[in-house]
Amino acid sequence: MFGRQREQLHGKVILHAVIYSQMIMNTLEAKTSIQPPELERLLADGRPAQLLDVRTPGEFAAAHVPGAKLIPLDDLDAAAFQRERGLDETPVYVLCQTGGRARKAIEKLERAGVKGCVLVEGGTQGWIDAGLRVNRGKSSVLPLMRQVQITVGFIAALGAVLALTVSGLFAVLPLFIGCGLMFAGITGTCGMALLLAKMPWNRGES
């Protein structure tokens, strides 16, 4: 009888130890992404956080999350960022307009040894859609992805018109655009967006 009780007690101890270990692992597990409302609550509670916005200056000027620091993706020197950060382990919450560029920025930062990078799901647009406060300014520059959509649509339409009225060889333009869109969808890298981001109006240059 006493032997059976000891076995049951031993089993309970092991079970509680496993549960406790799992709780510790879940607590220590690095968070890789966060929803805007959750991040807003952390900031409101005064939790240490560094907000990094990797959009273009024009997009940042139009609307940005309060407290965010602007470093456009093209200008992000991950090694310099790590040197400046030093031993600071404050989480770095990275955001762009919708999330694509932020993922690229996190890849660069992690390759340079930066720890604690967290993707803000949905980016600045997700923050706005959640009804959270943003700092708004005056900017005549369209969001980068809208510029991409306009440019891609124009080139595809132009190629189709020229193929119908001038030469069928111009059909290569819509074909090229279609292949580019498929590549962007598969890899998450939009060459048109990277190109447009380098334009003077997107870099805040006069």
Res. 19 pLDDT band, cuts 50 70 90:
very low
Catalytic status, residue 96: yes
Q: What is the pLDDT of residue 29?
A: 41
Q: What is the pLDDT of residue 54?
A: 95
What's the Rg (C-alpha) of the chain?
24
> Per-residue pLDDT averaged across 180-202, rounded?
81
Domain range summary for the chain, segments of one domain joined by +: 29-136, 144-197
φ/ψ of 96, rounded to 5, equals -130, -135
192: part of which helix (H) or strand (E)? helix 191-197
Q: What are the distances in angstroms from CA 107 to CA 80, 92, 114?
A: 15, 13, 10
**Whole-number average pLDDT of the chain:** 83
Record: fold of 29-136: Oxidized Rhodanese; domain 1 (3.40.250)
Per annotation, catalytic residue among 96, 117, 179, 190:
96
Joined tokens for residue 205: 């240059």
